[in-house]
Structure 1
Amino acid sequence: MSVSVRVPTILRTYTNGAADVTASGETLRDVLRTLESDYPGIESRVLDDDGRVRRFVNVYVGDEDVRFAQGLDTPTPAGSQVSIIPAVAGGAGPLVG
């Protein structure tokens, strides 16, 4: 099953600058394996050493955060969109009044 994968700017060095790539797989795990095959090195930026989605990376299939779905076993129906989104931290310092 072919899906569209939205790649964040920080990972586009692995996809030759492409913001959207196509991958196949019945589950998110399969899609990530396909991505790794086509774009070596990208999977280790999404998954930690234990094979789980990294703490500061959010992955969505459609509008659903996979952490609240079936994790890496979340189904990826044909035509769906997978979004890899790095968490953003920081902000302004304390307000001085």
Structure 2
Amino acid sequence: MASRTSDHITVASVAVAGALLTQQVYLPGAPLFATLACGVMSLTNTAFTVDALRRNRVQHTVTCPHPGCAVTAVLTGAQPAEQIELITLTVDHSKHGAAV
């Protein structure tokens, strides 16, 4: 799993690259709409990067409450619907039986 420092460096790099791209479009006298479009694109890319890093960082571990059962689900980057399904499967011992 990536460290927080590398996450911050990635986000900062994407933001700086977007700002430089926007500046390069603006300097040669491009229309304002093109400049704004590049700026919005840069912000969107930064938002997607932040979201991807956040989703990969969130990790939940769920174990079966049945004594002696070793079934464990580690939920990293799962969508909410997937999380509900995996949690339900993990905590209901009758659905998965005994783990080896």
Q: Give yes or no for TM over 0.5.
A: no
| Structure with the bigger percentage of helix | 2
TM-score, normalization: structure 2?
0.21
Structure with higher Rg: it is 2
Q: Which has the higher contact order (CA 8 A, sep 6+)?
A: 1
| Structure with the bigger percentage of strand | 1
TM-score, normalization: structure 1?
0.21
